[in-house]
A = this chain, B = another copy of it.
Amino acid sequence: MRRLEETVLSSEPVYLGKLVNLYTEQVELPDGGTALREIVRHPGAVAMVPLAENDEVILVRQFRLAAGRVMLEIPAGTLNPGEDPREAAARELQEEIGYRPGRLEPLGGEFTAPGYTTEYIHLFLATDLEASALAMDDDEFLEIVRLPLAEALRRVDAGEIADGKTIIGLLQVARRLGR
């Protein structure tokens, strides 16, 4: 088996920000050479596929500046420092769509872009949804969209749903349910 690991020789913070930090790191390559790596440090996130009893998924439309467009996504949010992903999932569902999940099942997770960002997203299937009496966050500009799972999958195939975590979540749920 070939040696693949790199060793960090030095790490320089370039930008310490609100959501992300950027570092440049000098690494030693397996053959003894060196290379520069640009690493975005991100706290990680959770994303949930909320599936209602009538087979509808509850999605959110929001503007994504980096994509330059409004996108249809599963509810998600950044992890607070030290926060348990399952607790974060319940919190974010409440804040974004106003539901409490009776049941949260892990759907695995993903490194979004391991070539340059540390971000890992924990994915969950959220069922037994109960409308919550708590107020939703009012400072997020988003619109809630309910769609039959089959229609959401059609939009994945049509490229209308183009957010990575959303595609993974919907395809995993479809696979589990044999759709």
- Please list the residues of chain A having a beta carbon within 8 angstroms of any beta carbon in chain B: 1-6, 8, 14-15, 17-20, 22, 24-25, 27, 29-31, 36-40, 42, 61-68, 70-71, 73, 108-121, 141-143, 156-157, 159, 162-165, 167-168, 171-172, 174-175
Q: A114 contacts B38, CB within 8 Å? A: no
Least Cβ–Cβ distance between A131 and chain B, in angstroms: 20
CA distance A66 to B20 in the complex (A): 13
Q: A20 contacts B116, CB within 8 Å? A: yes
CB neighbours (8 Å) of A114 from chain B are 64, 66-67, 71, 73, 163
CA distance A174 to B71 in the complex (A): 25
Q: Which residue of B lies closest to A117 (CB)?
A: B66
CA distance A30 to B3 in the complex (A): 51
Least Cβ–Cβ distance between A18 and chain B, in angstroms: 6
Q: Which of A115, A162, A168 has the most CB of B within 10 A?
A: A115
Q: Which of B5, B27, B119, B157 contacts A70 (CB 8 A)?
A: B5
Query: Can you give 30 A-B contacts (C-beta < 8 A)?
Result: A1-B143, A5-B63, A6-B63, A8-B65, A14-B14, A14-B15, A14-B22, A15-B22, A15-B38, A17-B24, A18-B38, A19-B38, A19-B115, A20-B22, A20-B38, A27-B65, A30-B141, A40-B40, A64-B111, A64-B114, A66-B113, A66-B116, A66-B118, A67-B111, A71-B111, A71-B114, A108-B156, A108-B157, A164-B168, A168-B171
